[in-house]
Amino acid sequence: MSEKVDFTFSFWRNHFKSLISAILVIAGPFVLLGGGISGYFSSEVLFGVNQITATFSSLIGVLFTSIGGMFVLYYTLLYVKVFLETNEVPTFKILWERKEEVGLGNMLLSMLGLSVILLFGFLFLIIPGVYMSVVFSLLLPVMVFEKKSFNNALSRSSFLIKENWWSSFGFYFAIGTVAGIIGVVVNSVPNMFMIFGASQQVDGGELPFYFQPLIILLTMVASLIAFMINTVNYVALAVNYFSLLEDKEAVSLKDEILTME
């Protein structure tokens, strides 16, 4: 597992600049808009806001952020695929030209379908949800790399993960922990300003005129950085897919994957 972890971070570090520059043109506006709306809603709490308006604003922010996250995931996997096929660093133009290769709409619907499945899993306690999250974690890599349908990709992911659940869980946990810690640190910045604003109001003080725009800006930047960091989790999905493919079917792809460095 340590070899996969080292390779994942190595690839992500070496390709970070080109990967981010290629996908943020597509996903960035959604992430920024979602972060901005969330920041506005958070700051409005300090000033008092109608509950219906607050709820509506929050849902709109989550919607745009979720769409941005889906785009980041899809184009990260597509980036890896194009790089493997061409051994050249993919640009925004290349990714955009191949966006319908797998079917962007199909991918988005599949992500939504997977979310519904996992939601039901978590409703029946945490353990079934976590188990299903790992079992179907390769759904999207299978759809991107093998061009399979949603149902076939579910079965394929289950087959690849079978007898490798714990190793896959440990691998995802290791990568996710590092990314999560960085994400917490990044998001703590706007949160600290929110705490400061709340304490000021408790003490009867007034907030400066620039406080709300500052919160919105910080939340937008934090959202963007968080999604940039999350790309390492999506690279990990691709790495685990190829690793299990080699183990399960004795397909010697290791040398090909290592060319990604």
Decide which of 51 and 247 is more confident.
247
Tell me how far apart the alpha carbons of residues 193 and 43 are, in angstroms, rounded to a whole number. 10
Query: Which two three-digit tokens encode residue 66?
Result: 């979720």
pLDDT band at residue 2 under the 50/70/90 scheme: confident
CB environment 166-187: b (16+ within 10 A), e (fewer): ebbbebbebbeebbeebbeebb
Single-letter amino acid code for the residue at 19: L
What does the pLDDT average to over 192-203?
A: 69
Average pLDDT rounded to a whole number, residues 71-81: 88
Please, what is the Cα angle at 167 between 166 and 170, to 5 degrees? 85
Contact indicator for 5, 174 with CB cutoff of 8 Å: yes
More confident residue, 211 or 79: 79
Q: Is the pLDDT of residue 44 over 60?
A: yes
The band of 125, judged by pLDDT with boundaries at 50, 70 and 90, is low
Q: Which range (1-10, 30-39, 82-91) has the least confidence?
A: 30-39
In three-state secondary structure terms, 260 is coil
Give the pLDDT confidence score for residue 202 in this predicted structure: 56
Whether 259 has a pLDDT exceeding 50, the answer reads: no
Q: How many CA atoms lie within 13 A of 117 on its CB side?
A: 18
Q: Looking at residue 184, what is its pLDDT?
A: 86
49-53, 161-165, 219-223: range with lowest mean pLDDT:
49-53
pLDDT at 219: 83
Average pLDDT over residues 24-39: 82
